[in-house]
Amino acid sequence: MPNETIITINRKFSRPSAELLKPFSDIPTGYVVDIQERRGALDCSIKPMFDFPSIAGPAVTVQTVPDDNLAPYLAMDVLQAGDVLVIANGGWTGSSVVGDLIAGMFKNIGVSAIVTDGAVRDVAGLKKRRLPLALTPEGTKTPVAEITIFLMLAVLRRLTFADSELRQGRWHINSLRPVSRNLKGRAIGYIGMGRIGQASAALAHAFGATGLYYDLIDTLDRQRAAALSLRFATLDEVIEQSEIVTLHIPSSPAARHIINADVIARMQPGAVIINTARGMLVDENALYEGLKSGHLGGAGLDVFESEPPKPDNPLLQLPNVVVTPHIAGGTRDAFQTKMRAIFENITRFYSGRDLNNQVDL
């Protein structure tokens, strides 16, 4: 594989400043990756932030823009038999690009494994060709849990409204007291109690909050639940008894609009909704009506049904809604942890060991 192969597709984002890149100037490269454009993100031809194992080999970087399905096909031109393809973002839209990769590229040139933190659609193609699939959940648990708590605090204390008002010369030293709340003592309802749900509950417990949670399969140890002041409940109980409802489940057809008009109507007056999971879980029209009517006290959203949200999205006009641009898992620390996990798996693959987090196909 060539040492320096850079394929650029419709590159629109500017190179970071020299000052921003300075800490990374002497760090060696070594990874095969596709990265979609993100405003303000490091150019993927820039060297990574830390040493990778030497076994990772030279880098092939593919730059693309959102909704551009060509990058994986161009990667075929430089990948060779025995290479490992790392998909850093599998969110391609339109035709089933990842499926085409598996059915076409893997068959023709014999790529040995695929490691991903994105979406793999053609699982049957992997199974047929006996290609191992490993997921990479590492790294995102902590930052997503932290921003979940941040959004709770920001909504409860009206932080973005207070910030905006102060910048316009309005000093609300007393007027926010009737509507501001502590996180301590709040009853938080968790829909989903996996890695991120548990990490969020641990942080909330440190603030003095209590909680109840619902999941399709309850895997939380009873002793651990008691230590975090949590109890398992039905979905209806979580909806009706919580002052804050926070979502921590993956997207699926069954989960679409799990927060809808009927659910919102049954929530406590003044309740808060937090979504750092997937935008499709919340019916945004119903959420807007619930907020506008005053039934809901606020919402903290890191994800949206359509991303990025349109400028005229009415949720963006409400002062009791705190929004962030799907950045919950996006920290330098999370990236380092994830990339270390990816290259640990590549090392394990080439040394004949089982992959961590390998999917049972």
201 and 129 in a common domain: no
261 and 131 in a common domain: no
CB 281 within 8 A of CB 255: yes
Residues of the domain holding 306: 141-323
82 and 50 in a common domain: yes
Tell me the three state secondary structure of residue 274: strand
171 and 100 in a common domain: no
147 and 32 in a common domain: no
Give the number of domains in the chain.
2
Strands (E), 248-358: 271-275, 296-301, 321-323
Is residue 360 in a domain? no
CATH value at residue 114: 3.40.50
How far apart (Å, rounded) are the C-alpha atoms in residues 151 and 324?
9
Strands 244-247 and 230-232: unpaired
How far apart (Å, rounded) are the C-alpha atoms in residues 206 and 306?
34
Active site residues: 278, 307, 326
118 and 81 in a common domain: yes
What local confidence, expressed as pLDDT, does residue 342 receive? 73
Helix (H) or strand (E) holding 344: helix 332-350
105 and 67 in a common domain: yes
Q: Please enumerate in sequence order all residues whose Cβ is within 8 A of that of 22, keeping only pairs 6 or more positions apart, or say none.
A: none
Strands (E), 136-196: 187-191
Exposed, middle or buried by CB within 10 Å (0-12, 13-18, 19+), for 331? Answer: middle
156 and 195 in a common domain: yes
255 and 179 in a common domain: yes
Tell me the three state secondary structure of residue 252: coil
307 and 182 in a common domain: yes
How far apart (Å, rounded) are the C-alpha atoms in residues 291 and 295?
6
Is residue 355 in a domain? no
121 and 254 in a common domain: no
How far apart (Å, rounded) are the C-alpha atoms in residues 361 and 358?
9
pLDDT in tens, 95-145: 333 443 433 333 333 344 454 444 454 566 566 666 677 777 888 999 999
CATH value at residue 306: 3.40.50.720
What local confidence, expressed as pLDDT, does residue 123 receive? 61
**Smallest Cα–Cα separation from 287: which of 311, 323, 252?**
323
Tell me which residues of the chain have a pLDDT lower than 70: 1-131, 350
65 and 135 in a common domain: yes
